[in-house]
Amino acid sequence: MPVGGLVPQATDNAAELVVRNARIHTQDARRPQADALAVRGGVITAVGDDQDVAGHIGPDTRVVDALGRRVVPGLNDAHLHVIRGGLNYVLELRWDGVPTLRQGLAMLREQAARTPKGQWVRVVGGWSAEQFAERRLPTVAELNAAAPDTPVFVLHLYQSAVLNRAALKAAGYDRNTPDPKGGQIVRSRDGEPTGMLLAAPSALILYSTLAKAPVLEGEDKKTSTRHFLRELNRFGLTSAIDAAGGFQNFPENYSTVVDLAKSGQLSLRIAYHLFPQTPGQEIDDLTRWIETARPEDGDEWLRLNGAGENLTWAAADFENFTQPRPELAAYEAEFEKAVRLLMENGWGFRLHATYDETIRRDLAVFEKLAAEGLFPAGNRWLFDHAETVSPASLDRIAALGGALSVQNRLSFQGEAFLRRYGPGRAADAPPLTAMLERGLTVAAGTDATRVSTYNPWVALHWLVSGRTVGDLTLRPPSNRVDRRTALALFTRAGAALTGEDEVKGVLRPGCYADLAVLSEDYFSVPEADIPHIESLLTVTGGRIVYAAGEYEGLDEELPPVSPGWSPVARFGGYRATPPPARAGARQAELLGEAVGESEEQRQWRVGRGLVPEATDTPFDPCFSL
């Protein structure tokens, strides 16, 4: 594709891909901006202008014209449950981005009619009642009306789930079912379950109920995972750190991504963690894993990154802000054994910790081990979430060589946090500025898919604006970051957590060819439009893994969504809506521009004799004889 004088010149070591006519944000201090880059063997070989890449173009080089669009390094979600999400993606009806509950219920009603007997309709994460115009959850009556016979399970954050009558029956809940520890089955005056489940404060009741639904088998798991990865590529994601989680057993639940990696079918780089699943058996699990694997085993597509986000179940706090902060029983003895085992064997780890009270207790254990020389010891370790971490705890984390990973959970739970803790605490949740001022590595992610959406641009908007999906401002300007910093948290910082910061998150020669051509310029669009950005062309390791708009058809073909009744086959994933800047007067301006362009095109066609000259009499077929 010769463009603007770029003709094939190279005979040896020609680039496989060249992107030109772009506004490239490289994140390389030596060359922050560029117009073009060349790729060979999955890595970048040249960055600069057209002349810099011209010598890399051969007869088989694919040249992509970015048409002046913004290009950024591929995004890296530092805390995403990508493995679990992939195994379930095609089974889930996504309300991510849906603007009204009415629309969500219409989708649910249609999906219930498409769902075969024995299967469930499940809405699992990525939405909040605050995003809806109605500002409320669906009622049990609405679910029963939409799906009288098909089980329906609707999960709302870490707080609650709404089930219809058929789902209660399928889950085996009746008047004799006891409330599980930390959870509540809401009952009517006659003792029968109403269909509402509450985390009080543990979300285990929600997730254990969801686990009763049917799962995918065989090749369908691979197809589901590949479509989920393509959906992530749609937003410019090229890497993710899988934080493991409950109901994600090793090795059986990891086998799908392992098989896809072996066949070269991953479109997203994954660094994964291992999470002990059975309370009381954590030390045995960790010991077994340490004897059989080491962090960084694997390659640039799939690699082990360490343990966590839980090491022992007793040390995990809950992030349900509609409930009081949980008071954890003594856990330090077993927790110390787990941490010692990991540090002595060169394993890194990550820790789920919502509250400073938990973080302080963990740090006391680390400081005890530091007296023996185990901290800092070069092992990568971090706290996840840390919404209420204190300045004193941040100082202790820095002294022990730790890092932090923050997620936009308050995009979806911010109103609940504000009601419980007040505006002062909400303004510092989490204290981004204080973290960065101490020189700590701070990486950003989403914690998708069971609470937040996997759309990283919603998280980037939260980082720079401090606003929830319900348009409530929580964090003041003093605790926000600028757009460049936010992007670095979503790229370079995530790479640092996996020890890949020399080859990932930067567009310079020798680095991975991971990049995204954006639909809108992230650095100049109105702030409110940031969540509406998508990628038009996503490249991972030099492969075009997602293509839309002018580039549609350049990406790799996927097998059809299976099973055919899947909600994804009918509705897709994230529901894109027009950005606010396109509304109202701006929409009228765009229509005017379109009319002007249409007239220019007509004049061009007239000048070439393709259509007759215009007459003074308008032609209206409705009134013609």
Reduced 3-state DSSP string for 306-322: EECCCCCHHHCCCCCCC
pLDDT exceeds 50 at position 111:
yes
pLDDT exceeds 80 at position 162:
yes
Cβ proximity of 469 and 421 under 8 Å: no
Q: How far apart are CA 99 and CA 470, in angstroms?
A: 10
Please give the pLDDT value at position 5. 60
pLDDT exceeds 50 at position 336:
yes
| Cα dihedral 95→97→103→106 (10° resolution) | -30
Residue-wise pLDDT for 527-542, tens only, equals: 999 999 999 999 999 9
pLDDT exceeds 50 at position 624:
no
Please give the pLDDT value at position 604. 63
Residue-wise pLDDT for 122-137, tens only, equals: 999 999 999 999 999 9
First-last CA distance in the chain: 50
Q: How far apart are CA 52 and CA 36, in angstroms?
A: 8
**What token pair was written down for 595?**
């009319």
SS3 210: helix
Please give the pLDDT value at position 247. 83
Neighbouring C-beta atoms of residue 420, cutoff 10 Å: 16
Q: How far apart are CA 448 and CA 223, in angstroms?
A: 19
HSE of 354, CA atoms in CB hemisphere, 13 A:
18
Strands 515-518 and 70-73, by their bridges, are antiparallel
Report, as an integer, the average pLDDT of 467-493. 98
Q: How far apart are CA 65 and CA 77, in angstroms?
A: 27
Please give the pLDDT value at position 431. 98
Report, as an integer, the average pLDDT of 24-50. 97
Say what percent of the chain tops pLDDT 70.
Answer: 92
SS3 428: coil
| Cα dihedral 474→476→477→479 (10° resolution) | -80
The pLDDT confidence band at residue 585, using thresholds 50, 70 and 90, is low
Report, as an integer, the average pLDDT of 249-270. 96
The DSSP H or E segment spanning 359 is helix 356-370
Residue 13 exposed, middle or buried by CB count within 10 Å (0-12, 13-18, 19+) = exposed
Residue-wise pLDDT for 75-84, tens only, equals: 999 999 999 9
Please give the pLDDT value at position 296. 86
- For residue 46, give the amino acid letter: A
Q: SS3 helix, strand, coil % of the chain, rounded to 5?
A: 35, 20, 45
**What token pair was written down for 363?**
């740090």
pLDDT exceeds 70 at position 147:
yes
pTM of the model: 0.92
Reference 71, options 411, 521, 410, 435; nearest CA is: 521
Please give the pLDDT value at position 134. 97
Please give the pLDDT value at position 621. 46
Please give the pLDDT value at position 245. 85
Residue-wise pLDDT for 614-623, tens only, equals: 555 444 445 4
Cβ proximity of 561 and 90 under 8 Å: yes
Name the residue with tokens 């349900």.
320
pLDDT exceeds 90 at position 235:
yes
SS3 198: strand
**What token pair was written down for 86?**
């992939």
Averaged confidence pLDDT in the chain: 93
CA distances from 36 to 14, 144, 170, 306, 518 (A): 15, 56, 56, 37, 15
SS3 59: coil
Residue-wise pLDDT for 348-406, tens only, equals: 999 999 999 999 999 999 999 999 999 998 899 999 999 999 999 999 999 999 999 99
In our burial notation (b when 16+ CB lie closer than 10 A, e otherwise), range 276-291 reads bbeeeebeebbeebbe
Report, as an integer, the average pLDDT of 171-187. 96
The DSSP H or E segment spanning 418 is helix 410-427
pLDDT exceeds 70 at position 595:
no
